[in-house]
Amino acid sequence: MFKITNIKSLDEKFYILKVKSEKKLNILPGNFFMIKTNNFSSTPLLNRPFSVMDYVNNETSFLIKEVGVGTKLLKKKKIGEKIQLEGPFGNSFLNFLEKNKKIYLFGGGTGIAPLFFLSKILKNKGYDYTLIYGAKSESQLVLKNKILSEDINAIFFTEDGSYGEKGLVTDYLPKIEENSLNFSCGPNIMMKKIEENKNKSSHFVSLESIMACGFGVCLGCVIPTLKKGFEKYQRVCKNGPIFDASIINWKEFLGEI
């Protein structure tokens, strides 16, 4: 069991949940946990997957958007209350790092969470990186202040031009260097566009999916790839959540065929 140490509202929908474990855990950027949203009832029945936003001194942070019953229940929990988490699960962005390449991180929505964690590590290890973070307006750049306070090398985009550059994060694509390393997490259509315009560079995506177990048994989180046979469908929880974007069958994944 974990203990809740803080629940901080960022706006009407987004909040940060912090929990502390009794012992040190091996948590890496890209990893996720399955969180039980209600300790005293079977409703909701299934745990919910959440990417790790940060991990400091045995304290794990999650960026959560209130969208349904489970996330509403989490927000109502009390500091000091015990909470059940399973994990960490999944692979990590660190598996795909290349020291001598320029690194770009593209994030939108709750997809900024694992990229914030990754940015801190890249900065501390001296990598050449840039975080590109976008939202519809300044008020929806919910991690802007944390990014600025950590002195992360970041470029901000807002669709209405209320903060940073006006437009979408994908508007930055013409500026990326050839043979760079790109990581993205956010809306699927955003990640698809990055893959289509990656300027002879490698591109890895962190996918989000509804899942029941978190360790590959239920097969509820499979995605279509360009591989053949039994490898065509990959499990986000077990094979990911970080994937080489070039192996994903984007048209099938987005329901375009």
Lowest pLDDT segment from 37-51, 105-119, 155-169: 37-51
Residue 230 phi, psi (nearest 5): -65, -20
Average pLDDT, stretch 179-202? 96
For residue 40, what pLDDT is reported?
Answer: 62
Q: Strand, coil or helix: what is 12? A: coil
Instruction: Give the integer Cα–Cα distance in Å for 74 and 197.
Output: 38
Determine contact, residues 215/239, Cβ cutoff 8 Å.
no
pLDDT at position 209 is 84
Q: What is the pLDDT of residues 4-23, one digit of tens each?
A: 999 999 998 999 999 999 88
Mean pLDDT to the nearest integer, 71-82:
94
Identify any residues that bridge with 243 across adjacent strands, giving them in sequence order: 205
Q: Give the pLDDT band of residue 50 (cuts 50, 70, 90).
A: very high
Cα–Cα distance for residue pair 134/16, rounded to 1 Å: 18
The pLDDT of residue 98 is above 80: yes
Identity of residue 73: L
Q: Span 24-47, mean pLDDT?
A: 85
pLDDT of residue 219: 79
**DSSP string of 82-139?**
EE-EEEEES--GGGG--TTS-EEEEEEGGGHHHHHHHHHHHHHHT--EEEEEEESSGG
- pLDDT attached to residue 231: 84
